[in-house]
Structure 1
Amino acid sequence: MTSHPPPDPDLLAIAAALRQGTTRLARRVRTVRPTGALSTNKISVLSHLRRHGPSTPGDVAASDRQQPQSLTRVFAELERDGLVARVAAPTDRRQSIITITEAGARALEEDVAERDSWLAAALAPLTVTEREVLRLAAALMDRVADG
């Protein structure tokens, strides 16, 4: 078993504050979500299909570190709403390939624009310095996520 050095107390405090802030923001975004907005799982599936093209349910689930059966209802709802299409795989008729439809791409763009608009309005009262700190924090979070 590998031994890790004890974490820096300052970094632990920063990590705890970051976790608390992102949790509160995520909770706030969920509470103001308009009726009919896409769920987080639906956004995840549609985003994956837009980025990577047609995929199997297993590939989509694996990209989000989930089991395919945990997204079964999500796939069915998206298909029912005409946001994705499902066809049999050419090599194995038991396997499905899921693609995003024009309506799905449009719904994803509208939902993301709505969320971005709400967040921009929520950030409007920040000072220029606070906005720059937030911009740097967002870039740093991307680097940490990549590492």
Structure 2
Amino acid sequence: MLTTPQPKMDLRTGAGLASALRVSLARLTRRLRRQAAAHSLTPTQFATLAAVERHSSITPGELAGLEKVQPPSMTRVVAALEERGLLQRAPHPTDRRQVTVSVTEAARQLLKEERARKEAWLTQRLMELTPEERSILRQAAPILEKLSRI
């Protein structure tokens, strides 16, 4: 694999740390995405499925807000996932004008397999690190989680 030399970043500054994290996390995300099964879902479709699974029955409008996309875009994503048998619609329990969506058993299985594949790949990469590096990552994991929710 051909890599290009990266400019040195001063990790002591906020901007340097931010830049280093952005680059490293983007690369790791790309590597994890390459571990995807042959399901042919887009990253947006996969993220939508995962969000619906986490939030159980949810309206498409609420889902659009969570995923930071416009409602018409989410409507198209939901329709495509429903067409593939991965989401199902149901009447809203209190508002007859709305529907809720939930994942199907096929979606649960797809998400489970996808997560297992990515975790197996990442577990293998982690075993290539030193015990000290893994210890640092154990400490960093909750901090990265916090950053993802701010």
TM-score normalised over the length of structure 2: 0.79
Fraction of identical pairs, as percent: 37
Question: Counterpart in 2 of 1:84?
Answer: 87
Does residue 112 (structure 1) correspond to residue 115 (structure 2)? The answer is yes
Question: Counterpart in 1 of 2:144?
Answer: 141
118-127 vs 54-63, which deviates more?
118-127
Report deviation, 1:90: 5.3
Is 1:89–1:97's contact at 8 Å kept on the other side of the alignment? Answer: yes
Unaligned runs of 5+ in 1: 1-7
1-side partners of 2:132 and 2:149: how far apart? 26
Is 1:78–1:84's contact at 8 Å kept on the other side of the alignment? Answer: yes
Q: Kindly provide the CA deviation profile for residues 85-144 of structure 1, in whole angstroms up to 9, marking residues without a partner as x.
A: 113435555432211112221211111111111111222211111111122222111223
Match of 1:129 among 129, 132, 142: 132
After superposition, the CA RMSD in angstroms is 2.2
Cα 1:31/1:47, change in 2 over 3 Å: closer
1-side partners of 2:97 and 2:149: how far apart? 35
Question: Counterpart in 2 of 1:34?
Answer: 37
Aligned residues: 140
Is 2:92–2:98's contact at 8 Å kept on the other side of the alignment? Answer: yes
Is 2:88–2:103's contact at 8 Å kept on the other side of the alignment? Answer: yes
Is 1:53–1:99's contact at 8 Å kept on the other side of the alignment? Answer: yes
Cα 1:12/1:89, change in 2 over 3 Å: same
Unaligned runs of 5+ in 2: 1-10
Pairing 1:31-70 to 2, within 5 Å after superposition = 31-36=34-39, 38-70=41-73
Question: Counterpart in 1 of 2:22?
Answer: 19
2-side partners of 1:127 and 1:47: how far apart? 32
Match of 1:73 among 51, 55, 76: 76
Report deviation, 1:11: 2.1
Is 2:37–2:114's contact at 8 Å kept on the other side of the alignment? Answer: no
Report deviation, 1:63: 0.7
TM-score normalised over the length of structure 1: 0.81
